[in-house]
Amino acid sequence: MWSLIKGKLQENSIDRIRLNGYNTECVFNQSIRQDIKNHYKQQCCAMCGVRDNSENTQIEVDHKDGRKDDSRVSDLSTQAFDDFQALCKACND
């Protein structure tokens, strides 16, 4: 169910849509296996090549190509190393 919120910008314009309710479809798990995390924490950033422990250059393990909604990648038992990449915090944000 959704509702329209009118009238803030122009007389009859719609400036917001509010969605009410829950998604009852499949919810994907964004967890990453610990062995994959350990592997990529030792790597350099795939985008800029940095590897450091300062706030913006700490390595984070990221889903490659935004694959967070792929059912194979969301299942811990079928995850592969190639599904992920090492990115520094600055590049991942």
Condensed to tens digits (0 to 9), the pLDDT of residues 5-57 reads 555 555 666 677 777 777 677 666 778 999 999 999 999 999 999 988 888 88
Other residues' Cβ atoms within 10 Å of the Cβ of residue 84: 21
Question: Quick one: pLDDT at residue 12?
Answer: 66
The answer to whether the beta carbons of residues 40 and 86 sit under 8 Å apart is: yes
Q: How far is CA 13 from the centre of its chain?
A: 33
SS3 (DSSP) at 91: helix
SS3 (DSSP) at 60: strand
**pLDDT score of 92 more than 70:** yes
Question: Quick one: pLDDT at residue 66?
Answer: 75
